Amino acid sequence: MKECSKSVMRRLNEPNFITRYFRGDSVDIGGAPDPLSMYVELFPLISSVRVWDVKDGDAQDMTGLADETFDFVHSSHCLEHIVDPEIGLRNWFRILKPGGHLVVTVPDEDLYEQGVFPSTYNADHKWTFTIFKMKSWSSVSRNLVELVATLGEQADVMKIELLHWSHRYGLPRFDQTLTPVGEAGIEFVIRKRPSDEVEHGGRKPLPGKMPNNAFALLTGIQPPTAD
């Protein structure tokens, strides 16, 4: 039900998508028929979006795309369809440039599958996802915290968020993504650390010293003087 389109208004209200995550050249994995490219004018720092779908090749391997090609990689509800999500996620990270962002949305197993697998609502789902559980009802459940950890020391986790703002927990079981606003998913954003950050073990502070009049330099407003 147009999951990428549903995300647009929410993302427009999160400044990081406009100023940090969606900038430069990108690939939208599994984007058809609801690609991010339909909304580029709303995110002015996007330079281009290449839609990658079935006709382009297997989304798990991304064969033919060189390492560190894109400034950001986007995928909405594709990871649950591939044979090995760990290999797929590694290849999506492989084609991302250092400093860029991997933005992925998957269904949450409790909000979407709701205790039944194979999935009642999408027979092609091969996996279910949760942010983290010690125990799951699903025999094919994948913890995203553990899955993201397989990306190694370059993975800089920006966010892992349950998209349940529109979910109605008090209703009997049905596919709430059939409604115009229901997302029933998890969104995670992973930044790819450049090599100097990997070596340092995190972001280095910028060199130099902030001058005493930093407030005036940053804001253009002179701070009040003491009487």
Q: What would the pLDDT profile of 41-90 be if each residue is shown by its tens digit?
A: 999 999 999 999 999 999 999 999 999 999 999 999 999 999 999 999 99
- How far apart CA 192 and CA 96 sit, in angstroms, is 7
pLDDT band at 226; cut points 50, 70, 90: low
Whole-number average pLDDT of the chain:
95
Domains contained in the chain, CATH given: 3-219 (3.40.50.150)
CA-based nearest residue to 28, from 4, 60, 61, 63: 4
The pTM of the full predicted model, rounded to 2 decimals, is: 0.93
Q: What would the pLDDT profile of 86-98 be if each residue is shown by its tens digit?
A: 999 999 999 999 9
Q: What are phi and psi of 46, to 5 degrees?
A: -75, 125
Q: What would the pLDDT profile of 85-135 be if each residue is shown by its tens digit?
A: 999 999 999 999 999 999 999 999 999 999 999 999 999 999 999 999 999
